[in-house]
Amino acid sequence: MTTTHVLTDTGVLTGRSLRHISRSPDTIITTAVTPIALMLLFVYVLGGAINTGTDESYINYMLPGILLITIASGIAYTAYRLFLDMQGGIFERFQSMPIARSSVLWAHVLTSLVSNMISVAIVVAVALLMGFRTSASVGAWAAVIGILVLFTLALTWLAVIAGLSAKTVDGASAFSYPLIFLPFISSAFVPTDTMPAPVAWFAENQPVTAIVDTLRALFGGQPVGNDIWIALAWLVGILAAAYIGANTIYRRRIS
C-alpha cells in the first residue's frame, strides 16, 4: 500500500471524525470550561495567597499548567469516541474495505490534535483577557506550540490504548483523571521547594514539571536550560511507547 493511499485514507477518516466534532461542539466547550474555571479560581481567589518567588503575575506563572490540564481533559473524548466505534462494529466494516489499517487510528489521533488545539486557543484567549502577557518571540511561540502538539500526541496515543482496552464507556474516559491531577503535583501552581520533601522529589522528577518550566521560560523570554531536553525526552519516550502499545493492541483486536 502506497504512502499516498495511506494519507488519503487518513484524510477521509479524519474528515469523518471532525464532522462529528463540528456537530457537537459542546465537547470542545466542555474541555475548555474546567481549565477556565481553574484559572478564575486560582487567580482571583487563591492567587493572592500564593508566593511563587517571582515578580511575574500569577496568571503568567500558572498558565502553562492550565494548558496541560486542558489537553489532558480533552483526550478523554478520544478514548470515548474510539470505544464507541469499537462497540458499534464500525472497525469491522472498515476492515472489509480497501483502506489502510493505520488510518483508522490516525484519524482519531489527528481529530484529537485539532480539537485540543482549538480548546487551548480558547483558554489562551481567556488568559489574555485576565491579564496574561508574554514577551515570547515568534520562535518561542513556535516552540510552545510544538511542545503542546507533542504533548497532545503522546497523551492521545495513551487514550487510544484506553479506548481499545476498556470494557465500559466510563472506563474508556476515566484513565484521564490521573493525567488531569498530575499537574497539581508539579511546579505548575506553586514552586516545588514549598512542598514536603517526598512530594517535592516526586514533583521535580515527573514529566509535567519539566514541560511546565520549559513553557514558562519560553513565555517569559527566558533561557530554557536543560528543562527543554528533559521535557522532550519524556514526551518522545511516552509517545513512542504509547504508539507501539496502541498498535499492538489494535492488531490483536482486529485479527
The DSSP secondary structure of 115-140, one letter per residue, reads: HHHHHHHHHHHHHHHTT------HHH
Domain span at residue 50 reads 3-254
Residues sharing a CB contact under 8 Å with residue 204, sequence separation 6 or more, in sequence order: 187, 192
Amino acid of residue 74:
G
Regarding predicted confidence, which is higher, 242 or 13? 242
Residue 164: Cβ within 10 Å count: 24
pTM greater than 0.85 (yes/no): yes
pLDDT value at position 79?
A: 83
pLDDT value at position 143?
A: 95
Predicted confidence (pLDDT) per residue in 209-241, tens digit: 999 999 999 999 898 889 999 999 999 999 999
Predicted confidence (pLDDT) per residue in 112-154, tens digit: 898 899 999 999 999 999 999 998 899 999 999 999 999 999 9
Phi, psi of 186 (to 5 degrees): -155, -170
- Determine the straight-line distance between the first and last CA of the chain, rounded to whole angstroms: 18
Q: Place 70 in a pLDDT band, splitting at 50, 70 and 90.
A: very high
Whose grid coordinates read 464507541?
84
Domain tally, the chain: 1
Between the ranges 7-11, 18-22, 213-217, where is the mean pLDDT highest?
Answer: 213-217
pLDDT value at position 146?
A: 96
